[in-house]
C-alpha cells in the first residue's frame, strides 16, 4: 500500500501557516503517496478544504487523518500525545526547535516516532531547496520592514514637494543573514538610507552589493566568514566592547532598527541596550526578529508592541506567519523537495542518506539519537 502522508491543522498559538498546499499535494500523490489533510488545516492561509480535495487529498478530522499515517507533515511539531493513531515508527517532519523543546523531543522517543527536525537541515548546497529557515527568514526580513514602516509616523523615501523636502528615513539592520539581507533590500526599495552591521567580516561585500553602508568595527577581529551552519558564533569580549561603542554612536542617528541576530542553541545576543534606545529620536521604531529566542533588544516583549523612551519596539512572534499564504507555499515546497529528494521508487517511500539523515533525525527506535541533544 502507498505510504500515507498526513497534514495537520497547526495547534500552536497564532500559527497561520500550513505544511502542504494543493500544489505540493498533487506532487506528493504523483510520487506515489496517499495524502490526507485535517479539516480546516489551510483555512488561515487562504486554502479551502475543497482545494485539497480537488488536488486529490482526503479531508477528514484529525483521528481520520492520522489513522495509520506513515508520515506527518507540520509547520511546528505538535505534542506527541496529539499523534495517536500513527503507524509505529512513523516520521514527523516539521520544525522542532529541539534545544528549547527537549521534553517534547523525549516524548517523541517515548512514543516510538521518528522526529525529523527540518530546522536542523544542514546548510549545504544540495539541501538549499529543503531549508525552511532560509525560506521563512526571507519573508520575515521583508515583513519586518513593512511592520516598521507601518509603526513609523513618517515617510520612508525622500520626498521633494512644493511645500519643502521630507528627508529619507535612516534604517539600520543588525545581523546580515538571510533575514537581514532581505530587510536591507526591502528598506532600500522603500527609499530609506540603509546601513547594516554583522560580526562576520565576509558580509561587508553583501551589504555593499545591496546599496547599503556597512558599519564594521575596525582593528578588532570579528568572525571571518561564516559561523557554524551559516550562522554567526560567539565573539571575543574585546570585539563586543568595540562593537557596542560603534553601535551606540550610530544607532542614535537612526529612525528604524531591524535586529536579526541568532546563535543556534543559545539565547539571542543582546545588541541594543536601554541606554541606546533612549538615545534614539522619539517616534523611531525597532523591530526585534529574535524576540522569541530571548531578544536582541533590551525591553522587547515577545508577542507585544511596546514603547520605551518614545521608541516603538515591535516584538511580533512568528513573523513569517503574518504572510501565511506565501510562507505556507514556500514551507510546503521545502517539505516536498525534501521527501522527493529521498523518494525510493523500489521501497515506495523516502529513505534518508547518512549526511542529512543524521543531521535532522532527533529520535528513532525509542531513543533520542541526535548527538546535539546528547551533549
Question: Can you give the pTM of this predicted structure?
Answer: 0.92
Given phi > 0 = left and psi -120 to 50 = alpha, else beta, which region is 11?
alpha
- The residues annotated with a catalytic role in the active site are 123, 128, 131, 134, 231
Which of 365-372's residues contact partners 24+ apart within 8 Å by CB, and which partners?
365/89, 365/112, 366/109, 366/110, 366/112, 367/109, 368/105, 368/106, 368/109, 370/98, 370/117, 370/120, 372/98, 372/99, 372/120, 372/265
List per-residue pLDDT tens for the chain, 375 residues long: 778 999 999 999 889 999 999 999 999 999 999 999 999 999 999 999 999 999 999 999 999 999 999 999 999 999 999 999 999 999 999 999 999 999 999 999 999 999 999 999 999 999 999 999 999 999 999 999 999 999 999 999 999 999 999 999 999 999 999 999 999 999 999 999 999 999 888 899 999 999 999 998 776 666 554 454 445 555 667 777 777 788 888 999 999 999 999 988 789 999 999 999 999 999 999 999 999 999 999 999 999 999 999 999 999 999 999 999 999 999 999 999 999 999 998 888 999 999 999 999 999 999 999 999 986
* Cβ atoms of 6 and 69 closer than 8 Å: yes
Helix, coil or strand: residue 5:
strand
H/E segment holding residue 345? none
What residues does 116 pair with on adjacent strands?
Answer: 93, 361
The rounded Cα 351 to chain-centroid distance in angstroms is: 26
pLDDT in the model for residue 225: 45
φ/ψ of residue 94, rounded to 5:
-170, 180
pLDDT in the model for residue 219: 66
Given phi > 0 = left and psi -120 to 50 = alpha, else beta, which region is 21?
beta
* Cβ atoms of 56 and 35 closer than 8 Å: yes
Nearest to 93 by CA among 340, 375, 374, 317: 340
pLDDT in the model for residue 297: 97
Angle at 200 between CA 181 and CA 250, to 5 degrees: 70
What residues does 306 pair with on adjacent strands?
Answer: 313
Burial call 350-372: b when 16+ CB within 10 Å, e when fewer: bebeeebeebbbbbbeeebbbee
- Return d(Cα 23, Cα 335) in angstroms, integer: 12
- Return d(Cα 33, Cα 234) in angstroms, integer: 44
- Return d(Cα 190, Cα 172) in angstroms, integer: 14
φ/ψ of residue 194, rounded to 5:
-115, 135
Q: How many CB atoms lie within 10 A of CB 310?
A: 12
- Return d(Cα 349, Cα 364) in angstroms, integer: 17
* Residue 238: C-alpha distances to residues 136, 143, 222, 228 (Å): 33, 34, 9, 21
Q: For the packed helices 132-151 and 324-341, what is the interaxial angle rounded to 10 degrees? A: 170
- Return d(Cα 340, Cα 354) in angstroms, integer: 16
pLDDT in the model for residue 130: 98
pLDDT in the model for residue 241: 78
Amino acid at each position: 500500500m502507498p505510504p500515507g502522508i498526513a497534514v495537520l491543522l497547526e495547534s500552536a498559538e497564532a500559527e497561520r501557516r500550513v505544511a502542504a498546499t494543493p500544489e505540493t499535494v498533487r506532487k506528493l500523490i504523483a510520487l506515489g503517496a496517499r495524502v490526507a489533510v485535517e479539516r480546516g488545516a489551510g483555512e488561515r492561509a487562504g486554502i479551502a478544504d475543497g482545494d485539497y480535495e480537488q488536488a486529490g487529498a482526503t479531508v477528514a478530522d484529525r483521528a481520520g487523518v492520522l489513522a495509520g499515517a506513515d508520515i506527518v507533515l507540520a509547520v511546528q511539531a505538535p505534542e506527541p500525545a496529539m499523534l495517536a493513531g500513527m503507524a509505529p515508527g512513523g516520521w514527523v517532519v516539521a520544525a522542532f526547535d529541539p534545544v528549547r523543546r527537549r521534553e517534547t523531543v523525549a516524548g517523541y522517543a517515548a512514543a516510538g516516532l521518528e522526529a525529523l527536525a527540518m530546522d536542523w537541515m544542514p546548510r549545504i548546497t544540495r539541501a538549499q531547496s529543503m531549508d525552511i529557515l532560509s525560506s521563512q527568514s526571507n519573508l520575515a526580513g521583508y515583513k519586518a520592514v513593512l511592520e516598521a514602516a507601518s509603526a513609523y509616523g513618517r515617510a520612508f523615501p525622500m520626498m521633494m514637494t512644493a511645500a519643502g523636502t521630507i528627508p529619507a528615513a535612516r534604517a539600520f539592520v543588525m545581523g546580515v543573514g538571510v533575514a537581514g539581507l532581505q530587510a536591507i533590500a526591502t528598506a532600500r526599495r522603500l527609499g530609506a538610507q540603509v546601513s547594516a552591521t554583522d560580526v562576520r567580516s565576509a558580509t561587508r561585500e553583501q551589504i555593499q552589493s545591496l546599496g547599503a553602508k556597512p558599519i564594521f568595527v575596525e582593528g578588532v577581529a570579528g568572525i571571518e566568514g561564516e559561523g557554524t551552519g551559516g550562522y554567526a558564533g560567539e565573539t571575543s569580549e574585546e570585539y563586543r566592547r568595540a562593537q557596542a561603542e560603534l553601535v551606540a554612536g550610530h544607532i542614535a542617528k537612526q529612525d528604524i532598527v531591524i535586529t536579526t541576530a541568532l546563535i543556534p542553541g543559545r539565547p539571542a545576543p543582546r545588541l541594543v541596550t536601554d541606554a541606546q534606545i533612549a538615545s534614539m529620536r522619539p517616534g523611531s521604531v525597532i523591530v526585534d526578529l529574535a524576540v522569541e529566542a530571548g531578544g536582541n533588544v533590551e525591553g522587547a516583549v515577545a508577542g507585544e508592541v511596546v514603547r520605551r523612551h518614545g521608541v516603538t519596539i515591535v516584538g511580533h512572534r512568528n513573523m513569517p506567519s503574518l504572510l501565511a499564504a506565501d510562507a505556507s507555499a514556500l514551507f510546503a515546497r521545502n517539505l516536498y523537495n525534501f521527501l522527493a529528494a529521498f523518494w525510493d521508487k523500489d521501497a515506495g517511500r523516502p529513505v534518508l542518506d547518512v549526511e542529512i539523515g543524521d543531521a535532522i533525525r532527533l529520535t528513532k527506535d525509542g531513543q533520542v539519537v541526535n548527538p546535539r541533544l546528547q551533549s
